[in-house]
Amino acid sequence: MTVTNEQKTALIQQAKTAYKRAYAPYSKFHVGAAALTKDQNIVSGCNVENASYGLTVCAERNCIAQAVINGEQQFQTLVIYTEQEKLTPPCGACRQVIVEFFEPEAIIMAVNHLAQSKSWKVNELLPSAFTPKDLI
């Protein structure tokens, strides 16, 4: 599935908007994410921290959960936005959730406020991943 430049621009904008809504009073590390679903809808999410740190939920997982709540479970691509000079890849927990819902060749892209970006295929982020196919 090919993502157009127009879709990519819209995803980045939605991820930036989500970034601004992040609840990160402890780490001050705001993250926004936006995903394009198979049905061509854009969903977004931000990180939500908690005083009990283990209950913090990342932007990528909140984004995916929002789509699932709306009845969508298949995705084409995901954009992660931060205002860090070093581009921010998804954490390990997010990588596992991404593998659950994205095809191995789907593109996951990190973008920052300097208009820099880096992309990975899902299977590059988590090679030899444990997937639903392993439960059969």
Residues 6+ apart with CB under 8 A from 101: 64, 68, 73, 74, 75
Structure letter (DSSP) for residue 52: S
Q: Catalytic pick from 6, 49, 60, 124?
A: 60
Q: Is 60 assigned a catalytic role?
A: yes
Burial class (CB in 10 A: 0-12, 13-18, 19+), 98: buried
Structure letter (DSSP) for residue 23: B
State the catalytic residues: 60
